[in-house]
Amino acid sequence: MTRSLFGGLYLLLFSVAGMLYGQDILTPEERQWLADQPVIRFAPAPNYPPVEFFNENNEYQGITADFIQIIDQQFDLGLKLEIVQFPDWTTVVAEGRARRVDMWGAAEKTAERSEYMQFTRPYIRLPAVIIVRSEFVGEGIEALEGKKVVGIQNYASYEHLQEKYPQLDTLAVPDIETGLRMVSYGAADAIVASNAAAIYYIEKNGLTNLKVVGESGFEWSLRFAVRDDWAPLLSIMQKGLDSITAQQKRDIYRYWINLDASNNRSSTKDYLFIAALVGLVAILLVLFSWALRKRARLKMQRLTQRIEEQKKIEKELKKLATTDALTGTYNRRAILEMAQIDYQKCLDEGLPFSVLMIDIDNFKQVNDQYGHEIGDRVIRAVVNVCRDILSAKNIGHIGRFGGEEFVILLPMIDQEEAYLVAEQLRECVEKESIQCAENALHFSTISVGLESLKHAETFDELLHNADLAMYQAKNAGRNRVAIWHESISG
């Protein structure tokens, strides 16, 4: 589990101190209960960073994971604790109710959950904030009356919204990442979520058009929860939490949550306390031999290396998530996600919407004659021509659909105007010279299929019809634009 350098020192100190004094804060009955349990099935919230989540390698991480690590130093839970990963929080709650899991990591205590789970005292408190697009005017929950506000399904914060603010048009989503993307793309007006988790997903998805306009009046008081017929485990977890020092908690929070400047006043005292503890660790390490000291140093080096590797991976994933590597435009997944949102907005507001399906003519001959490197050059040249025209007109989005096929979305553009755009794209591509060999130029052409929103077709239907129209253009001789009509669908 990833953690900060100082967090690692505290874990080491805790372990060494236990070796020195042989303290055991559990009763004999609690120790016996632990010994009698073959496994403790632990189900964290799967996507609630920075509190707890699974990274792209399905490793359990976050604030709660660090708390578990410290408690494990005291009670040796590691061999018994089976971490179970579910796709969403709704499933976690259902599995807990059905007794197929024994413990949750970070849960809000509610009356309904208390019917089958017991809760420790809170160890994390997070306010729920209101997040909107940058152009939104207004402050606080009162400004959202009549607006579409999303919350996370089965989260206590969503129940709070529905009970306290019936004037809002609330909608449940499976996770915070989906909700933030809906607000960013205009499918919803606001989302109520924890500020820390929102910052994580905003940075991950590059959603730069969002802002916070106040608190919702709800605060998560997150606790460990255990099944209500396992009272000894509740006592054990509470003792484990109580054994974690205030300084250890601050170090964990400092690593996972960006603290604001208001905390700077106490930073000097914090660092002095940390320095004293580091000195104590050094003394204890000398007492327990140079071998133990070397082991701790290697452990910290591996930790630092892992943190750096994780940052590099996250940076790469953020770049690759929505971008086609060859052309630098949207990849297939990103353009289709954007299409669904833009299409639904135009449908809801009665606005026109058009889609172009583009294919480079005779592209196989280019690969066969000049090779794949020149073929890639042709694809980039065609995309650059199309992208420049769309950018100059300040309309549409282009994405690579696959191979030499591309999709262009034209929200708020009717069929007549879309046809003129498609013709301009075709003419400009036809005139673009591409260096394919020494003293040899290549001129490509494209076939374009056009379909526009007429009634209430789904986007998939529009895309399918545009694809049929593109093949109609190819069958008619290529280098032309075809508009789909039902008469050609067969």
The CATH number given to whatever domain includes residue 164 is 3.40.190.10
Last residue of a domain, one of 190, 221, 252: 221
Q: What is the per-residue burial (b if ≥16 Cβ within 10 Å, else e) of 410-437?
A: bbebebebbbebbebbbeebeebebebe
Whether residue 226 lies inside any domain: the answer is: no
Sequence letter at residue 105: G
- Please report the pLDDT score of residue 381 as a whole number: 93
Confidence (pTM): 0.45
Evaluate the CA torsion angle 47, 48, 52, 56 in order and state its sign: positive
Predicted confidence (pLDDT) per residue in 201-216, tens digit: 888 888 889 999 888 8
Q: Which carries the bigger pLDDT value, residue 339 or residue 12?
A: 339
Predicted confidence (pLDDT) per residue in 44-98, tens digit: 999 888 899 999 899 999 999 999 988 888 777 666 889 999 999 999 999 999 9
Last residue of a domain, one of 221, 250, 276: 221
- Please report the pLDDT score of residue 274 as a whole number: 63
Whether residue 35 lies inside any domain: the answer is: no
Strands 481-483 and 124-133: unpaired
Last residue of a domain, one of 189, 221, 253: 221
Residues 337 and 483 in one domain: yes
Predicted confidence (pLDDT) per residue in 420-440, tens digit: 999 999 999 999 988 877 778
Residue 6 has pLDDT above 80, yes or no: no
Whether residue 352 lies inside any domain: the answer is: yes
Percent of the chain with pLDDT over 90: 51
Domain of 448 in residue numbering reads as 332-488
- Please report the pLDDT score of residue 276 as a whole number: 62
Strands 148-152 and 190-194: parallel
Angle, helices 332-349/176-185, rounded to nearest 10 degrees: 60
* Eight-class DSSP state of 323: B
Query: CA angle, corner 241, sides to 236 and 243, nearest 5?
Result: 95
pLDDT band at 5 (very low <50, low <70, confident <90, very high): very low
Read off the tokens for 464: 């399918």
- Tell me, what CATH number does 447's domain have? 3.30.70.270
Whether residue 408 lies inside any domain: the answer is: yes
Work out the number of other CB atoms within 10 angstroms of the CB of residue 130. 23
Average pLDDT over residues 366-383: 90
Spatial distance between the Cα atoms of 252 and 243, rounded to a whole number of angstroms: 15
Distances (CA, A) of 211 to 127, 133, 218, 296: 16, 6, 18, 42
Spatial distance between the Cα atoms of 277 and 159, rounded to a whole number of angstroms: 44
Residues 347 and 206 in one domain: no
Average pLDDT over residues 386-407: 94
Residues 214 and 349 in one domain: no
**CA nearest neighbour of 189 among 197, 198, 179:** 179
Residue 314 has pLDDT above 80, yes or no: no
Long-range contacts of 482-487 (CB under 8 A, 24+ apart): 482/447, 482/448, 482/449, 482/450, 483/415, 483/419, 483/450, 483/451, 484/449, 484/450, 484/451
Predicted confidence (pLDDT) per residue in 170-196, tens digit: 999 988 889 999 999 999 999 998 887
Rg of the chain over Cα atoms, rounded to whole angstroms, equals 29
Does residue 436 contact residue 370 with C-beta atoms inside 8 Å? yes
Residue 90, burial from CB neighbour count under 10 angstroms (0-12, 13-18, 19+)? middle
Mean pLDDT taken over the chain: 84
- Please report the pLDDT score of residue 487 as a whole number: 47
Question: Which H or E element spans position 113?
Answer: none
Q: Which residues pair with 27 in a beta bridge?
A: none
Predicted confidence (pLDDT) per residue in 287-303, tens digit: 766 776 677 677 778 77
* Eight-class DSSP state of 330: B
- Please report the pLDDT score of residue 267 as a whole number: 44
Residues 216 and 337 in one domain: no
Predicted confidence (pLDDT) per residue in 435-475, tens digit: 877 778 889 999 999 999 987 789 999 999 999 999 999 99
Does residue 107 contact residue 120 with C-beta atoms inside 8 Å? no
Domain total of the chain: 2
Sequence letter at residue 407: V
Sequence letter at residue 183: V
Whether residue 138 lies inside any domain: the answer is: yes
Whether residue 199 lies inside any domain: the answer is: yes
Read off the tokens for 202: 């905003």
Work out the number of other CB atoms within 10 angstroms of the CB of residue 448. 27
Whether residue 393 lies inside any domain: the answer is: yes
pLDDT band at 486 (very low <50, low <70, confident <90, very high): low
Distances (CA, A) of 378 to 318, 423, 443: 27, 19, 9
| Helix segments in 188-331, DSSP class H | 195-205, 231-242, 246-256, 267-287, 290-320
Residue 22 has pLDDT above 80, yes or no: no
Residues 350 and 481 in one domain: yes
Spatial distance between the Cα atoms of 64 and 225, rounded to a whole number of angstroms: 12
- Please report the pLDDT score of residue 258 as a whole number: 54
Whether residue 216 lies inside any domain: the answer is: yes
Predicted confidence (pLDDT) per residue in 89-142, tens digit: 999 999 999 999 999 999 999 999 999 999 999 998 888 899 999 999 888 888
Read off the tokens for 46: 């799967």
Does residue 331 contact residue 399 with C-beta atoms inside 8 Å? yes
pLDDT band at 273 (very low <50, low <70, confident <90, very high): low
Read off the tokens for 263: 């905390």
Residue 38 has pLDDT above 50, yes or no: yes
| Helix segments in 397-488, DSSP class H | 415-431, 459-475
Spatial distance between the Cα atoms of 178 and 184, rounded to a whole number of angstroms: 10
Does residue 323 contact residue 331 with C-beta atoms inside 8 Å? yes
Predicted confidence (pLDDT) per residue in 235-255, tens digit: 999 999 998 998 998 888 888
